[in-house]
Amino acid sequence: MKYRITLFCHVDGSITHSPRKPKTRPAYEVVSDREERDDETDAQTSMRVIAVTQPGVDIEARWVRKGGQSVFGYKQHTLVNHNGLVMAVVSTAANCHDSKLLLTLLDKAEIVPGTRVHADKAYCSQKHRESLKARGIKNGIQDKALKNKPLTARQIHRNRLITQARYVVERTFGSQTRWFGSKILRYYGQAKAHAWHILQAMAYNLKRLPRLYAEKLLPRQPQADCVF
């Protein structure tokens, strides 16, 4: 029997650094972590050149700007339940915008109608609002200010409440980093990066489950807690 989320869930992305980075990088290849951009053709061409001139470079990883610094690697898109257990994982190059994987994560985790999904403002879009409504899923995505349209006091208050609730997914990422060193990738290629992300998620869930059972936060019956 599958463990279905019926309360609320949290979605976010975390970058995994690849040590197999090129010595140089074109300016057009570095994008902001919160910036949507579709120039993969140029990036792929650049990495093919790098692969020839710089052996040992991970040609499937990408650059992204995070916190004012350029980072080379992959992104782990994750959906967790209200207890922080990982329910779905998707791995992409680091320059993939978070919002592109929201619906994919909801499908992989088989989120049922009535569930509230919490996410930061990077996921805010009219498309997502309409998609969540069509699926019967409650919108817990933070509002984003638009040009010449600042947030209202009510929206600011709502964003703060969502931020307080989203500590669950941040705790999951923090624990994975502390327990398994999840920030540094040990392998080449996106397929192996995804396998690494899944193994981390499985190990995290196995480590968390005994405490959740002890605190009676989960029913004591066999259930599948991961649908990666």
Domains in the chain with CATH codes: 8-14+74-214 (3.30.420.10)
Q: Judge contact between 84 and 208, C-beta under 8 A.
A: yes
Least confident of 49-53, 62-66, 87-91, 126-130: 49-53
Give the span between the Cα atoms of 73 and 190, in whole angstroms: 9
Q: What is the pLDDT of residue 67?
A: 80
C-alpha distances out from residue 69 to 13, 38, 65, 110, Å: 17, 21, 5, 36
Mean pLDDT, residues 18-39: 65
Alpha helices in the chain (DSSP H): 40-53, 102-108, 126-135, 153-165, 167-180, 190-214
Mean pLDDT, residues 121-138: 96
Residue 80 pLDDT greater than 60, yes or no: yes
pTM for the model stands at: 0.83
Alpha helices in 75-189 (DSSP H): 102-108, 126-135, 153-165, 167-180
